[in-house]
Chains A and B, each alone.
Chain A
Amino acid sequence: MSLISANMSSNLNQKTLNDRTTIMTNALEQALKRLPAKPVPTGLFAGIQLAIQQEERWMRSLRRWVFLFSAGLSSLVLFVSVAGQSLVVELSQSAFFTYLQLIWSDTDVLYTHGQDIAFSLLESLPVVNLIIGLLGLFFVLGLLSLGLQFRSYRSQHSLSLS
C-alpha cells in the first residue's frame, strides 16, 4: 500500500515537474519574444541597390573582357597553327633534317667535326619562324592560365547554399 502511494506521489511529482517545466518554457519563450530587435538601418536598401548596380557594371565589363579574351585566344590559336605550319615547311626546306640524318648515319662525324655540325644545325634553323611560333604558343598558354585562374576565383566566390 505504501509502495503504491509512494509511486502515486512520485507520478504526481513528475507531473507537477513536467507542468512546471512547460510553464517555465512558455514564460521563457514569451520573454524572448519581447526582446527588442535592432532597428533596420535606413539606407540598407539603397546600399543593396548600389551594390547591385556596381555588380551589373562589373558583369558588363566582364562580358566585354570575356569576348575580347575569346577573340584574342582564337586569333592566337590560328596564328600559332599558321606559324607552326610555316615552321614545318621552312624546316623541311632547310638543311636541318639533312644534317640530322648525317649525324644519325655517321655518329663519328660528331667527334671529328662536332663544332661545325652544331653551327650548321643552328644556322639551318628557321629562327624567325621559331621565335614567332614560340611567342604565340607562350601567349596562348598565358591566356589559358589566366582563364583558369579566373574560373577558380569565380567558383570560390559563388553562392553557397550548403
Chain B
Amino acid sequence: MSQQVTDNELIQRYLKGDEEALRLLYEQHIPGVFRFISRLAPSDIDPEDIVQEAFLKAWKHLARFDQSHSFKTWLFTIAKNTLFDAIKKKRPLTFSELNTGQEDQEPLEIDIADERPLPSELLEEKESQVRLEALLDQLSPPQKTVVTLHLFEDLTFREIGEVVGESMETVKTRYRRALAVLLRLLQKPPAS
C-alpha cells in the first residue's frame, strides 16, 4: 500500500513539473518490467526495445492514469500489450499462441507415477536451469505470462487478473495448469 502511495505521489509530483519524480518512479519499476519482458519475449525480439516503448507509452498517458488502480499493474499491462503487439507485427500468430485460454477448459490431470523422483531430485539429476528455461518456453504465452508474473514478480492472482484482463479464478486455474504442464514436461527425458 505504501508503494502505491509512493507511486501516486511521484506521479503527482511529476505532473506538477518535478522531472526527478519520473526518474524515481521509473527506476523503481524498470527492473521488474524488464525481467518480465525478457522472460516472455521470444528470441527475435529485443526486450530492451519493448521496455523502452512501454515506458514511453506510460509517460504519454501518465496524466490519464487512474490513480485508484495500481501503477505497477498498469505498467505491466502496457508492457505485456506492447510485447504482444510486437510479436503480432513480427510474425503471424500460430494456433497455440492465439489460444488465449482454451487450455483452461480442459480437465486438469497430472499423471504422476509414485515411483518417479521428486522434481528437486529430477532437477539435480538431469536438468539445469537451461532446461527449465526451455520448458518455460513451451508454455503458451498466456500461461507463461501468469507464471512469470506470479513467480518472478510476486504479483497476486488478483493483480495478474488486472494485467491480463481475466478473472482471478481464471488466472489461478491457468497458473495451476501451467505448473501441471511443466511437471509433465519435466518427467519426459530431455531431447538430446
Residues of A within 8 A of B (CB): 16-17, 20-21, 23-25, 27-38, 40-41, 44-45, 47-49, 51-52, 55, 159-162
1/0 per residue, CB under 8 A from A, across B152-188: the answer is: 1000000000000100000000000001001100100
Q: In this complex, what residue of A is CB-closest to B150?
A: A29
* A37 with B78, Cβ < 8 A, contacts A16-B114, A28-B182, A32-B132 known: no
Q: Is the interface of B mostly helix, strand, loop or mixed?
A: helix
Q: How far, in angstroms, from A16 to B129 measured CA to CA in the complex?
A: 29
Tell whether, in the assembled complex, residue B34 and residue A40 are in contact, meaning their CB atoms are under 8 Å apart: yes
Interface size class of chain B, counting residues whose CB lies under 8 Å from the partner chain: 35 or more
Tell whether, in the assembled complex, residue B52 and residue A28 are in contact, meaning their CB atoms are under 8 Å apart: no
Tell whether, in the assembled complex, residue A20 and residue B151 are in contact, meaning their CB atoms are under 8 Å apart: no
Q: How far, in angstroms, from A66 to B30 measured CA to CA in the complex?
A: 34
Tell whether, in the assembled complex, residue B119 and residue A21 are in contact, meaning their CB atoms are under 8 Å apart: no
By a CB distance below 8 angstroms, the chain A residues around B2 are none
Partner of B81, one of A31, A35, A45, A160: A160
Q: With contacts defined as CB atoms under 8 Å apart, how many contacts are there between chain A and chain B in the complex? A: 99
By a CB distance below 8 angstroms, the chain B residues around A17 are 112, 114
Q: Is B35 an interface residue (CB 8 A)?
A: yes
By a CB distance below 8 angstroms, the chain A residues around B132 are 31-32, 35
Q: How far, in angstroms, from A47 to B147 measured CA to CA in the complex?
A: 28
Q: Is B71 an interface residue (CB 8 A)?
A: no
Tell whether, in the assembled complex, residue B47 and residue A25 are in contact, meaning their CB atoms are under 8 Å apart: no
Q: Which of A17, A24, A35, A45 has the most CB of B within 10 A?
A: A24
Tell whether, in the assembled complex, residue B151 and residue A29 are in contact, meaning their CB atoms are under 8 Å apart: yes
